[in-house]
Structure 1
């Protein structure tokens, strides 16, 4: 255990030297005996956690992968916590999704016993034309990308309220105003209404959405507007990772 602790101290010390540091300096700053420092540095370099250039030690690829993974997990935790906060404060399930590599991906769903999410009874990826999440994502794509998606996942009725054909869907998407919520009423699941908000993430189409029982339709627009306001206030400090 003591060897692990010393190795970690050396890694932390190296991380504090952007332009690298020699073994003697690292031994002095960590208080580790020079022979032990040399031994640990050689081991860490062999395992890829450090690299040596002209007598100076720098963080290696393995350490950088650990750092990247930790940062990604932190971003994911931040997003999950934000969605849970909005779920409880607004009283609706919250969905976060994006369009990546030609596919609709629901990255995170925050629900509770009192605010259950919609059951995915038909594959979300294949039924983007029928739910608010998919319609919101498709509305952010260019026409060629929309047609490509619908060529792979043709429009089909899954409830009596589903948009009837691709032409009708494309016309609806063209009329969708930028940054306006997309509303869907029982097109994906009978008894459920949904709304989705476009999220600006560079070139990536993303969205956050909510759902409610159909008998609470009057809550839908006020709830999604509140979510939109809260997201706008938080985006300055919350970097939503596209890869969470």
Structure 2
């Protein structure tokens, strides 16, 4: 049996991934501050295991405690495979360097980079003494490979998650495990993060008008379209561990 652990599963891409996986008869562990009742009901309607954990990913101790509990619970079930979607992310602070506040800087790095590293490390560790394959999917961004004014912290964190993914993949090959780890750049989606971006100030974010135009001209990708492409890849059995996948390539 397969289980999927999804951070940020209550809305946006995370919720869309969860719904698609339920249709594929994969059990769901949802991790977010609030629970999406629709996902819970959908899982129960399909007679699938479902559990929600509330977790603030910006708090290191909470991440460790919650995911230790999740890992212990799932590996006890001796599943064939665990899919780990490190999807949760925050774009704030949107501000130029020299005008940044300390608290949102730390929170951004904790959520976008440190939490995925801690969670991946924990699941790979637990997998060492089992026959369970772990497949990690780290949601990255186009901002990982190009500088965007006002997004210095977000760009840096996402660049970090790409490098972590590539390095961890090399290590798993050396250890001769069946585990895989990839990064995935989902493009510009119609989600709450885009609302946050559009509500920023022109002085902090020079490309503000461009992102407003994306919305006005219906240029944003629907979350379910992106989720379908990602899940198709993950379930294909043809994942290249260490690769940073881009939604544009998957939709061609």
TM-score, normalized by length of structure 2? 0.24
TM-score, normalized by length of structure 1? 0.24
Structure showing greater radius of gyration is: 1
Using CA pairs under 8 Å that are at least 6 residues apart, name the structure with larger relative contact order, 1 or 2. 2
Answer 1 or 2: which has greater strand percent: 1
